[in-house]
Amino acid sequence: MSSAVTAGGRARRRTAPTRVPYAFLTPAVIFFVLFLLLPIGYTVYLSLRREHVSGLGLGAGARKEIFVGLANYRAALHDSELWRSAGRVLVYGGLLVPTMLALALLFALLLDVPRTRWRRFSRVAIFLPYAVPAVIASLLWGFLYLPSVSPIQWVLEKVGVHDVDLLSSTTIYFSLANIALWGGVGFNMIVMYTALRAVPREIYESARIDGASEVQIALRIKIPLITPALIMTGVFSTIATLQVFSEPTTLRPLTNSLSTTWTPLMKIYQDAFARDDIYSAAATSIVLAGITLVFSFGFLRLLQARAFGQER
Amino acid sequence: MKLALGAKLMAVVLGASLLAACSSGSGNSTTNQKVELTFWSWVPGIDKVVDMWNTAHPDIHVTVSKQAQGDEELTKVLTANQAGTPPDLFQAEYQALPTMVSNGVAADIKKYTTSAQSAFAPGVWQTVTLGTDAVYGIPQDSGPMMLYYRKDIFDSMGLQVPTTWDQFAQVAAQVRQKDKTKYLTTFSSGDPGWFAGLAQQAGSSWWGVNGTTWKVTINDAATQKVADYWGNLVKNGLIDKQPMYTPEWNKALNDGTLIAWPSAVWAPGVLAGNAADTKGKWAMAPMPQWNAGDNKTGSWGGSSTAIAAKSKHIAQAVQFAVWLNTDQAATSALVTNGGIYPAATAAQSGPALAQPPDFFSSQTDFYSLAKQIAGTAVGVTWGPDVNVTYATYKDAFAAAITNGTPFTGAVDTMQQDTVNDMKKNGFTVSSG
């Protein structure tokens, strides 16, 4: 079997050498089509349809799938709850993304200072929370937030601070951002740190000879040189923020402050699986994907000129 | 060489997919002699009960697949049905049955169940007929509601067990006066089934069938009364407002911060798991009544065994479902292994329920009292989109609690949302 294939292959090689790259691409293309294009296509298809019930809706054949054009999109765009959830995510992202990137950058710069000790240990210690799945992290933090089971609350009570509700409708933003921060700083730090290690050491040497302090080197040389890495982490964090789901979903049963539609993705999940309306959910998914695209491309556009200017 | 490698890769991929096709094809060909049934359920120890069946019935073999409880299994069954491969039998909560029927998942099994009907009380049987002529499942367990309270704390605080909701509110106030660290109970925005049971007790039926029209009356006077009552308790700080089934709630039950729980007959199992330190300290009484002298209760939970319309062996599946839920040995095994409260009337005084639950060892009349209470549970018709109503309950009541708005508004939101959803889907609906 295999020799026949090899022989056939040799014969073909002489006549059509240009097919070789396609043969190599085939597995990737198959998977790309099967697991990305087809699902996206199916989502678009579903988003244009709806189930229609007649009468009581009981008995066989009472439900029919019908074509409804853009009605699901119109409903999604006019859904005030979707925009409210988007607003909540903006507040959450406004808290999270700058803090997370600033901390990650700070840690990366500190690790890159020549005199830093325990470098390997610190790197692993800061990175480790990233290895904890978001659901587990949220359960863990959930315990720390609930008043009567939380050691944080216990300590606060002992020092005379009473009735701090970490899950109230305002503090919930900070509590949620904190979970993502805990998990995300390490990853972003590694990306920035790797970019820093790729900078030729001679640049720092000449800066030092010119009399630059470590702080000046960090601000004037390191940060400008790793701007592409900063932008990349910025885009990734923004996308992750727009799609936040696991943390609020896991914390939701613990508090009255989180609704089942607190973030856009939770709303989509709710529509698809709690309300059995995959058609609206599909339309809203496409809308969310569109918004995410606009956000990330807008962000890139905004910064591209500065960051990659020298590459043009 | 390069092409050869590429071609080999292709061959491997193709070969593998052929193999996969072969192995999935061979599954269907062996079902001629022996009927194979799949069964999705979340009842603990259900595999042991099914083993009893498999030993006694070599020609019908049932394979259990353990599932997550409630909505998660519902979603999975709906998805599997859409993919064309639902399990032959599945556990369906009563309020989920209409959704299953309306999506064409659950089969009408009326012609196989003529003899089984007599094993159940009419109110229980109604939940599997949905008030129509069809039959969509065999009832398995029921969840009549009753009041659980910490007998030791009630005694030491000098509290009377309330028999009406007015008294319940008075006791709630007394608890706050006597001990600021304690609450009588909590109002949970996380448990719509609990609130539905409370509303049923007050005489509300959220859905009804009138010819070919669904009647939706979630914000009827009875439900408004219940919502208003609990809203006032929360507003005046007489009861707690944290959701149930959280680590916080477990601790509050365990350390005596919460001292009563209007719950269902299956509560001993929950308390044993979540508040292990309080063993033997609880007692059970009938639910407080809206009018003194009344004798009514609602239901929280309860489920049936339903059969998939796409199953190839519906007759055999019904045969198994009837055995599982009415046979003396099977229901006894369900009680001992699964901790369920059987829906079949005879099973409610079966040998497995002669002793009180371990956690309530001091209340010797637990199950005879439970059987009495079960007989006072009002019948109920569920609608085809209980999932929407329940989802709205969680958000509307959570918002009402956080914003301090009246609970009656949350009930109105549930009504509106449910009716809108049904209209959008094309159901014929009338409100009230």
Give the three-state DSSP class for A56: coil
Q: A142 and A37 in one domain? A: no
The yes-or-no verdict on residue B290 having pLDDT over 60 is yes
Task: Give tens-digit pLDDT for B176-196.
Answer: 999 999 999 999 999 999 999
Segment among A208-212, A271-275, B94-98 with least mean pLDDT: A271-275
Checking DSSP bridges between strand B282-286 and strand B138-150, what pairing results, if any? antiparallel
Q: A191 and A85 in one domain? A: yes
DSSP A213: -
Question: Which of A109-123, B63-77, B250-264, B326-340 has the highest average model confidence (pLDDT)?
Answer: B250-264
Task: Give tens-digit pLDDT for B21-61.
Answer: 444 433 344 445 789 999 999 998 899 999 999 999 999 99
Task: Give tens-digit pLDDT for B205-236.
Answer: 899 888 889 999 999 999 999 999 999 999 99
Q: A133 and A36 in one domain? A: no
What pLDDT band is residue B421 in, cutting at 50, 70 and 90? very high
Q: Which residues contact A297 (CB under 8 A, 6 or more apart)?
A: none
Q: Is the CB of residue B395 less than 8 Å away from at least one CB of chain A?
A: yes
- The rounded distance, in Å, linking the Cα atoms of B320 and B317 is 5
Considering chain B, what percentage of its residues have pLDDT values greater than 70? 92
Higher pLDDT, B233 or A53: B233
Residues 189-248 of B with CB under 8 A from A: 189-190, 209, 212-214, 241-243, 245-248
Q: Is residue A28 part of a domain?
A: yes
The yes-or-no verdict on residue B405 having pLDDT over 60 is yes
The beta-carbon neighbor of A20 closest among B3, B246, B388 is B3
The values of phi and psi at residue B138, to 5°, are -110, 120
Model pLDDT, residue B311: 95
Give the three-state DSSP class for B213: strand
Chain B positions in Cβ-Cβ contact with residue A12 (cut-off 8 Å):
3
Could you tell me which residues are beta bridge partners of residue B307?
B89
Q: Which amino acid is at A129?
A: P
Q: Where are the alpha helices (DSSP H) in B159-305?
A: 165-178, 192-201, 221-235, 247-254, 267-274
Q: How many domains does chain A have?
A: 2
Give the three-state DSSP class for B369: helix
Model pLDDT, residue B24: 41
8 A C-beta contact, residue B426 and residue B212: no
The yes-or-no verdict on residue A215 having pLDDT over 70 is yes
The yes-or-no verdict on residue A312 having pLDDT over 70 is no
Domain containing residue A47: 2-67
Query: Could you give the ipTM of this predicted complex?
Result: 0.83
Model pLDDT, residue B130: 84
Q: Is the CB of residue A94 less than 8 Å away from at least one CB of chain B?
A: no
Task: Give tens-digit pLDDT for A102-153.
Answer: 999 999 999 988 877 888 898 899 999 999 999 999 999 999 999 888 888 8
CB pairs under 8 A between A and B: 145
- The rounded distance, in Å, linking the Cα atoms of A191 and A13 is 43
Domain-terminating residue out of A45, A67, A89: A67
Task: Give tens-digit pLDDT for B292-310.
Answer: 999 999 999 899 999 999 9
Domain-terminating residue out of A39, A67, A95: A67
The beta-carbon neighbor of A53 closest among B102, B255, B395 is B102
What is the CATH classification number for the domain harbouring A257? 1.10.3720.10
The yes-or-no verdict on residue B4 having pLDDT over 60 is no
Higher pLDDT, A156 or B62: B62
Q: A106 and A48 in one domain? A: no
Q: A115 and A260 in one domain? A: yes
Q: Is residue A115 part of a domain?
A: yes
- The rounded distance, in Å, linking the Cα atoms of A304 and A297 is 10
- Of the candidates A111, A269, A241, the residue with the CA atom closest to the CA atom of residue A179: A241
Model pLDDT, residue B124: 87
Model pLDDT, residue B17: 47
Higher pLDDT, B206 or B10: B206
Instruction: Tokens for A127, please give them.
Output: 């990175």
Q: Is residue A72 part of a domain?
A: no
Model pLDDT, residue B150: 96
Q: A169 and A220 in one domain? A: yes
Domain-terminating residue out of A67, A87, A102: A67
Question: B225: how many CB neighbours lie within 10 A of its CB?
Answer: 17
Cα A160–chain centre separation: 38
Q: Is residue A42 part of a domain?
A: yes
CA dihedral B203, B207, B210, B213 (to 10 degrees): 160
Instruction: Tokens for B156, please give them.
Output: 């030491």
Residues 134-153 of A with CB under 8 A from B: 142-143, 146-149
Range A283-288 contact pairs with CB under 8 angstroms and sequence separation of 24 or more? A283/A47, A283/A72, A283/A73, A283/A75, A283/A76, A284/A76, A284/A79, A284/A82, A285/A43, A285/A47, A286/A43, A286/A44, A286/A47, A286/A73, A287/A73, A287/A76, A287/A77, A287/A82, A288/A242, A288/A243, A288/A264
Q: A159 and A59 in one domain? A: no
B103/A63 CB distance under 8 A: yes
Model pLDDT, residue A80: 93
Per residue, the 3-state secondary structure of B1-13, as one string, reads CHHHHHHHHHHHH
Q: Is residue A191 part of a domain?
A: yes
Checking DSSP bridges between strand B35-41 and strand B207-210, what pairing results, if any? unpaired
What pLDDT band is residue A306 in, cutting at 50, 70 and 90? low
Rounded mean pLDDT of chain A?
88
Sign of CA dihedral B232, B237, B241, B244: negative
Residues 235-254 of A with CB under 8 A from B: 253-254
Model pLDDT, residue B32: 53
What pLDDT band is residue A305 in, cutting at 50, 70 and 90? low
B398/A1 CB distance under 8 A: no
CA dihedral A275, A276, A281, A282 (to 10 degrees): -170
Separation of first and last alpha carbons in chain B: 77
Q: A248 and A295 in one domain? A: yes
Q: Is residue A121 part of a domain?
A: yes
Task: Give tens-digit pLDDT for B84-143.
Answer: 999 999 999 999 999 899 888 999 999 999 889 999 988 889 889 887 888 999 999 999
Model pLDDT, residue A295: 82
B388/A62 CB distance under 8 A: no
A256/B241 CB distance under 8 A: yes
Q: Which residues contact B130 (CB under 8 A, 6 or more apart)?
A: A58, B97, B98, B101, B136, B209, B381, B382
Q: A42 and A170 in one domain? A: no
Span A81-105, mean pLDDT? 95
What pLDDT band is residue A3 in, cutting at 50, 70 and 90? very low
Span A39-68, mean pLDDT? 86
Q: Is residue A74 part of a domain?
A: no
Q: A59 and A86 in one domain? A: no
Instruction: Tokens for B319, please give them.
Output: 């045969």
Q: A53 and A92 in one domain? A: no
Q: A265 and A126 in one domain? A: yes
**Chain B residue with minimum CA distance to A274:** B387
- The rounded distance, in Å, linking the Cα atoms of A163 and B333 is 48
8 A C-beta contact, residue A196 and residue A261: no
Burial of A127 (0-12, 13-18, 19+ CB in 10 A): middle
